[in-house]
Structure 1
Amino acid sequence: MTIDTQIRNPVIRLDPADNVAVAREDIAAGTEIPSEGIKTNHDIPMGHKVATHAIAKGDPVRKYDTTIGFAGEDIVPGDWLHTHNVLMDDFQKDYRYAQDYVAAELLPPEQRATFMGYPRADGRYGTRNMIGIFITVNCAATVARKISRYFDEERLADYPNVDGVVAFIHEQGCGMEQTGEPLDLLRRTLAGYIRHPNTAGALVCSLGCERNNLSKFMEAESLATGKMLRTVTMQQIGGTMNAVEEGKAVIREMLEEANKIERETASAEHIMIGLQCGGSDGFSGMSANPALGKAVDILVRNGGTAILSETSELYGIEHTLTSRAKSETVGRQFIDRINWWLEYNKGRDTQINGTVSPGNQAGGLANVIEKSLGGSKKGGSTGINAVYEYAYPVTEKGLVLMDTPGFDPVSATGQIAGGANMICFTTGRGSCFGSYPSPTIKLASNSTMYTRMHGDMDINCGKVIDGEKTLDEMGEEIFEKILAVASGEQSKSELLGVGEEEFAPWQIGVLS
């Protein structure tokens, strides 16, 4: 991508082969754009597209030298391009399985970046040291909440090495299929959080008669109780308040143990990042997402891992990812998941069938293909080494894919369950997302929003749009922030206490 460093130029050209440019700022009709040799025929909002060449009806509209749609009418240079005249249609894609795969050039271990992490017995390192309270069924939610709220900042003051006691509440566990994918998925998600490198200890609360039976859950996920994994069942212990008091006693014991763990120097190869974007705009795919992609490339060279997800928001550009797959098998696994989503959404008014959210549209994105094109750039340029279904443990290093919905809390929950000990979240419209036990770093795509929502944003990638930094420089800044937050620096969402309500296991299947 080349970005004109002259701030006076009101548009950004992303590739010489494109027939559109993107408005750097609001552009009035009749404005001359010398760099493109055109004059605007309409008002072009910031982040939206303007035609730089004539495009005949039915011909491709190209951005980043990738088809994002087709002209719904004859378009002349200077026209505003958006949902009214950029139509989405299916077209033949060449998947080119594994043909562009390039293995990452890893730095020697002694040259890799480091952070201060919490060591775990299995060799992993946590970026946080938390105690989690989990529920098998929503009926135990109040018990879990009362226990976690008891351990406020004042009561945790004596445990400086513990980052918090958090209740992870969900709405499932009963009134659902007793066997099969929905229950397996819920159990897998809960177990992933319980085993997570950022979880020092876990208490599992149950009612006693739910379909997600406690003993069967523990058996299915090979979880065994011990000093740092305890359970309490409300019906057995005598009801709500007895369960709360028992839970408090258990957590007090865990706090003593968890506080004995101290941070130590660890290689960046132990960092696993979940990549997220939400509230995207026309700049997301030009600043925050590709800048995060640069940081991912750095992390991968240092032996770390990044998880690209939101499968329904990778539709339309899946062929650009299959060509980077490690093998044809990996590439076909991804296409299998794309096809599942297409079948699941057949006939429904959902994003994968074309229309993005009102906020995305207002930000300049015409359809899901354009959104996918920008979103995929979070994954950088490295090869794709594996594909995982939702919430499965991620064991491969480097860049991997995990099948998740596009809804950010649900997607991030799956990534964290898979082992992500950090989340990097890009936004153009201004997401206020946060997550526990893995901290979220939020990256703003433009300076206007960053300034307006400074209390929620960690990094301003709008400097790329403003011509103040290159993507490479921005990527270095993001990587340094990743190391700092991994070492204990609190992100904006952590300072605000955002993340407890954002635990959202994927609900799939029928309820009864």
Structure 2
Amino acid sequence: MFGLTIQGTGGTRATIAAIRDKVAEILPEVNRATRSDCPASALKVALQCGGSDGFSGLTANPALGLASDRIVGLGGTVILSETPEIYGAEQLLLRRAASPEIAEKLIDRIRWWEDYTAMNGGSMDNNPSPGNKQGGLTTILEKSLGAVAKGGSTPLTAVYDYAEPVTEAGFTFMDTPGYDPVSATGQIAGGAQVLCFTTGRGSAFGSKPAPTIKLATNDALFRAMPEDMDINCGDVMLGVSLSDKADQIVDAILATASGAATKSEALGLGDNEFVPWQIGAVM
């Protein structure tokens, strides 16, 4: 573990120099890394949603949930996060806990968030964000139900603290804020190689070093942002089955893990989305 502070390292210039020296030290080890064949069971896929709308819980999120089940069926791992955004729907996860200990750890995190928000003058059962409201969501419970749908239906095998290494296969949960860059940073630090990000409002998000696959919840968004959205899930409302859409998502995950560039990678997004969870009120 390498950590330092500007105050304890001699100021801004000295800190930058120390970081540069550390990068130069580890470069030979990084350069020894080469691409090699891996089974699908080695995949760790992060699940994210941001800028939700009234279609999120009907199209992209349940389709991603079925895709999550397929990844788990292949022996891989999926990581659901954003604890404030499952609030009110946590019973759907607790019922799937593989053991009482796993359920209790999730309950502990929920209780921690209740205390955390209360200390900062907030509430876990508040209304959705303005963007979510404009997208058609009326209560935070609607947001939570849609968010949980991304996790599919398989047993919950583990609950992790923020950025903790994810070691259990299957459907897992990581405690993170709902703020997408902070949440995704924790998932990537935990070992996720690919992110699947559903959006109904057009969140322009990318991530590094794990690329982001963007799933549009409605046709209008996909047509409006063709250079940002990788998959259109809006056609589920026109008769495309959730199962077929899940197959398309899994194919995209496998292709991305094999080196295919996502739309956000083509745009060069991701440099500014590394945002660790800082001390203070971050929802």
**Is 2:116 the partner of 1:315?**
no
Equivalent position of 1:254 in the other structure = 27
Q: Does 1:392 align with 2:134?
A: no
CA contact (8 A) 1:428 1:446 kept: yes
Aligned ranges 1:217-232 → 2 under 5 Å: none
**CA separation in 1, counterparts of 2:241 and 2:87?**
28
The total of aligned residue pairs comes to: 280
Instruction: Give the Å deviation of 1:507.
Output: 1.0
1:435 alignment counterpart: 207
Which residue of structure 2 aligns with residue 126 of structure 1?
A: none
Q: Could you tell me whether the CA contact under 8 Å between 2:40 and 2:75 is conserved in 1?
A: yes
Q: Percent identity?
A: 52
* Structure 2 counterpart of 1:423: 195
Higher percent of residues as strand = 1
Once the two structures are TM-superposed, the CA of residue 480 in structure 1 deviates from its matched residue by: 0.4
What is the one-letter code of the residue matched to 1:498? L
Q: Is the 8 A contact 1:312 1:351 kept in 2?
A: no
Hey, what's the Cα distance between the residues in 2 that align with 1:430 and 1:509?
27
Question: Is residue 442–residue 457 contact of structure 1 (8 Å, CA) maintained in 2?
Answer: yes
Amino acid at match of 1:254: L
Aligned to 1:357: 129
Compared CA separation, residues 306 and 249, structure 1 to 2 (3 A)? closer
Query: Is the alpha carbon distance of 1:248 and 1:429 closer, same or farther for their aligned partners in structure 2, counting shifts above 3 Å?
Result: same
Deviation at 1:266, TM superposition (A): 1.0
Secondary structure at 1:374's aligned position in 2? helix
Structural mapping, 1:105-504, within 5 Å: 136-137=4-5, 139=6, 208-209=9-10, 235=14, 243=17, 247=21, 250=24, 254=27, 258=30, 261-346=33-118, 350=122, 352-467=124-239, 469-504=240-275
Q: Secondary structure at the match of 1:443?
A: strand
**What secondary structure sits across from 1:265 in the alignment?**
coil
In 1, Cα distance between the equivalents of 2:33 and 2:66?
Answer: 33
Counterpart CA distance in 2 for 1:398 and 1:325 is 12
Q: What CA distance in whole angstroms lies between the structure 2 residues aligned with 1:391 and 1:443?
A: 24
Asked if the contact 2:205/2:264 (under 8 Å) is kept, the reply is yes
Residue 244 to residue 311, structure 1, CA distance change in 2 (3 Å)? closer
The structure with higher relative contact order (CA 8 Å, sep 6+) is 2
Shift, 1:250, TM fit: 2.6
TM-score (norm 2): 0.91
Residue aligned with 1:489, SS: coil
Residue of structure 2 equivalent to 1:111: none
Distance in 1 (alpha carbons) for counterparts of 2:135 and 2:161: 31
Corresponding residue for 1:179?
none
Q: Distance in 1 between matches of 2:39 and 2:96?
A: 26
Give the superposed CA RMSD.
2.5
Pick the structure with more helix per residue. 2
Q: Are the counterparts in 1 of residues 114 and 123 from structure 2 also a CA contact under 8 Å?
A: no
- 1:84-119, Cα deviation, whole Å (9 max, x unpaired): xxxxxxxxxxxxxxxxxxxxxxxxxxxxxxxxxxxx
1:340 Cα deviation (Å)? 1.1
Asked if structure 2 preserves the Cα contact closer than 8 Å seen for 1:279 and 1:428, the reply is yes
Q: In 2, are the aligned partners of 1:430 and 1:444 still within 8 Å (CA)?
A: yes
- The separation in 1 between residues aligned to 2:146 and 2:273, in whole angstroms, is 24
- What residue ranges of structure 2 are gaps of 5+ in the alignment? none
Q: Which amino acid aligns with 1:406?
A: G
- Once the two structures are superposed, the pairs formed by residues 77-116 of structure 1 within 5 Å of their partners are none
Q: Secondary structure of 2:235's match?
A: helix
Pair 1:209–1:278, CA change in 2 (3 A)? same
Cα distance change, pair 350–424 in 1 and its aligned pair in 2 (3 A): farther
Conserved? CA contact 2:52–2:201, under 8 Å: yes
How many angstroms apart in 1 are the aligned matches of 2:4 and 2:84? Answer: 29
* Secondary structure in 2 matching 1:502: coil
Q: Is the 8 A contact 2:87 2:125 kept in 1?
A: no
Describe the shift of the 1:245–1:409 C-alpha distance in structure 2 as closer, same or farther (beyond 3 A): closer
CA change 1:342–1:245 in 2 (3 A) is closer
* Conservation of the 8 A alpha-carbon contact between 1:272 and 1:419: yes
The 8 Å contact of residues 214 and 230 in structure 2, kept in 1 or not, is answered as yes
Partner SS state of residue 243, structure 2? helix
SS at match of 1:324: coil
Decide whether aligned partners of structure 1 residues 360 and 484 sit closer, same or farther in structure 2, where only a CA change above 3 A counts. Answer: same
Following superposition, the deviation at residue 136 of structure 1 comes to: 3.6
